[in-house]
Structure 1
C-alpha cells in the first residue's frame, strides 16, 4: 500500500458506529474521542510538501493521560519533523459532545 494524498477510506455511519462501539466495549475506561480545532489542523496540513498527516498515540508525561500526536507527512511518506506537530487535543471525557451517534452513553 502506498501513501498518497488520497489515502484513507470513507465509511458509513453504521460502520463507524460498529467500530467505535466495539472499541468502547473492549476499552470502557479509554478516552472516547479527541477534538482539534480547524485552524490548528489547517496549520499542520498547509506546510510545504505536506500531503496528509500521521497520528501517533502518546501519553502526556505531565498529566499521564493518553493523547494523540499529529504530524505532517510528505509525498515520500516521511514525517515532516521540522514543522508543525500537534498535541493536547481536547478529550472526551471530560469535554464530550451533547449528542453523537458514535458515543456509547452508559
Structure 2
C-alpha cells in the first residue's frame, strides 16, 4: 500500500446519509448479509496488536458456506500485521485469555437475523 496515515482513514458521516445508504443496500440486496456486530473486546484486542494502526475488514466464506467478515490488524502503511498469524481464517480464540494477539478475528453477529432498527 502507498504510504498514508492509516489512523486517519475513514470519517464520520451524517446519520441521515448513513441510514439512506444502508436502506438502499438492503432494498437492492434483500438476500444479502447486511452487516456484522463486533464487541469492543475483540476490536480492542486487535488494536492492541503491536504496531496496529487500523483494522482491515475482509469478506470470507466459512466452512459452512456462510459469508463472514474476517478482521486483521494493519500497520501504519496499511499492511496486514501477519508475521505470526496462523492462517487467514483463524479466529482469535485465545487472545482475550492469554494476550496472544497473532490471529485475525471473525465470529461477528450477522444481520440478518440480528439487525438493529434504524428508526428515523
CA distance in 2, matches of 1:101, 1:33: 17
Contact persistence 2:54–2:78 (CA under 8 A): no
RMSD: 1.7
Aligned to 2:118: 100
- Matched residue pairs, number? 100
Runs of 4+ in 1 over 4 A off after TM superposition: none
CA distance in 1, matches of 2:24, 2:43: 27
Residue of 36, 39, 42 corresponding to 2:38:
36
Q: TM-score, normalised on structure 1?
A: 0.84
Q: TM-score, normalised on structure 2?
A: 0.75
- Structure 1 stretches of 5 or more lacking a match? none
Q: Which has the higher strand share?
A: 1
State the secondary structure of the residue aligned to 1:50.
coil
Aligned to 2:74: 73
- Structure 2 stretches of 5 or more lacking a match? 85-101
Q: 1:58 to 1:101 in 2, by over 3 A?
A: farther
